[in-house]
Amino acid sequence: MSVYCNGHPATAADLAAALVNYGHFTSLQVRGAAVQGLDLHLRRLRQGTEELFGTALDGTRVQAWIAAALQAEGVSDASVRVTVFSRAFDFRQPLKAVPVDVLVSVAAPASMRGTPKHVRSVVYQRDLPHLKHVGTFALFQQRRQAMQDGFDDALFVDAQGRISEGSTWNVAFARGGELVWPQAPALRGTHERLLQAGWGGEPQLAPVGLDQLGGFDAAIGLNATDVWPIAGIDGYRFPGSEALSQRAAEILAAQTWIPL
């Protein structure tokens, strides 16, 4: 992995400032120097910067820095993470206006397609779930605990039993030809938006409780990395998940790739 800060190779001092752990990010897959949902990623970064730092982020500059990092690495296919933080941020004076900095990390391209996952539910909700912030410790710990118990990942539900999201992914369910997106406080993903747009018709948004899972015959997980079938949640099984995942993958593959 290579890391750039504000368009230049990151120094130790740059990375040390990021250890304050106050910031937000977006992760994206690049193929042929293009990104699906690039506008959604940039919107996420702008909104997060406004909320956490009270300042505007120049999306055009961020896009140029991503392209420059890829060019410097000599690659056109990659996994890219863009992190917004501030070397000047002081947690003792969090209201002080500070300029923001942008880290762009470039790693090998990734895909999670094809492998069905059996996940378990857990009552948990991320802090500020609408933000893709850098507080990821609990997400990875929940995944680790689920794997220790023989599952592939964790699915979060709120105190009322409503499904919200996976550890680092969104979830959707199907009954017949209808795709349903569970509604509870969660991070709304870029691929979630793209699949909703490509599926056709108005997205079916509704609360989905664990006690309603028996009414669905398929489920998928998805994030910017890919889409994959959910074989089961707790004791529920979804025999139609692989077919649903394949259909979702075809729809996502048809979405526009935006050049950097």
**Tokens representing residue 82 in the block:** 């863009």
Report d(CA 192, CA 209) in Å as an integer: 19
Question: Which phi and psi angles does 170 have, rounded to 5°?
Answer: -95, 165
Which residues have C-beta within 8 Å of that of residue 199, sequence separation ≥ 6? 179, 251
Question: Which phi and psi angles does 16 have, rounded to 5°?
Answer: -65, -40
Helix (H) or strand (E) holding 165: strand 163-166
Listed as ranges, residues in the chain with pLDDT below 70 are 114
Over residues 167-206, the pLDDT tens digits come to: 999 999 999 878 999 999 999 999 999 999 999 888 899 9
pLDDT at 28: 96
Q: Domain 2-107: which CATH class?
A: alpha beta
Report d(CA 259, CA 18) in Å as an integer: 29
Q: Where are the alpha helices (DSSP H) in 74-184?
A: 137-148
Q: Whole-prediction pTM value?
A: 0.93
Over residues 150-170, the pLDDT tens digits come to: 999 999 999 999 999 999 999
CATH number of the domain at 117-258, please?
A: 3.20.10.10
Biggest alpha carbon–alpha carbon distance for the chain:
54
pLDDT at 97: 86
| Three-state DSSP state, 238 | coil
Domain boundaries, the chain: 2-107, 117-258
pLDDT at 201: 81
